[in-house]
């Protein structure tokens, strides 16, 4: 699912977002345009003139975030409680990390590549306890 369909123009620094299907938006200088909203990604113009700021989530994760909202509402959570439910869902899926938390970047055979809380990257051999 497309969450944001957007571009920053390198020529005029305009941040343009297409918010819905057939929402054709052009930057101030006319160098680049976006279209499609959450339905499709379309770019027109000088593609080297823009930085793509679009992002997507897998449909299953997008659905899980929606379910987190419904579950939180059904238990009378406040807006903060609802936001926390969505953030927990994204964190459990490895899409966001908390301050001071390491992040597994790669998990291959007997090694892990981890980004540490301080931003450094380390490799660790997996330890198997029998």
pLDDT value of position 48: 86
CA atoms within 13 A on the CB side of 45: 22
Residue-range domain boundaries for the chain: 2-56, 59-92, 100-130
Q: What Cα–Cα distance (Å) separates residue 30 from each residue in 14, 25, 47, 116, 119?
A: 10, 10, 12, 42, 38
pLDDT tier, 128 (very low <50, low <70, confident <90, very high otherwise): low
Averaged pLDDT of the chain: 88
pLDDT tier, 129 (very low <50, low <70, confident <90, very high otherwise): low
Q: What Cα–Cα distance (Å) separates residue 111 from each residue in 100, 104, 125?
A: 22, 11, 5
Percentage of the chain surpassing pLDDT 90?
58
pLDDT tens readout for residues 33-82: 999 999 999 999 988 888 999 988 899 999 999 999 999 999 999 999 99
Percentage of the chain surpassing pLDDT 70?
92
């Amino acid at each position: 699912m497309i969450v944001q369909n957007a571009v920053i123009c390198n020529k005029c620094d305009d941040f343009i977002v297409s918010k819905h299907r057939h929402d054709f938006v052009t930057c101030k200088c006319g160098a680049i345009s976006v279209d499609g909203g959450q339905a499709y990604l379309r770019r027109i113009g000088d593609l080297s003139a823009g930085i793509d700021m679009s992002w997507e989530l897998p449909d299953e994760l997008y659905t899980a975030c929606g379910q987190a909202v419904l579950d939180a509402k059904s238990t009378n959570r406040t807006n903060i409680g609802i936001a926390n439910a969505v953030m927990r869902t994204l964190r459990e899926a490895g899409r966001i990390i908390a301050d001071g938390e390491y992040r597994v970047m790669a998990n291959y055979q007997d090694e892990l590549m981890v980004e540490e809380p301080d931003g450094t990257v380390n490799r660790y051999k997996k330890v198997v306890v029998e």
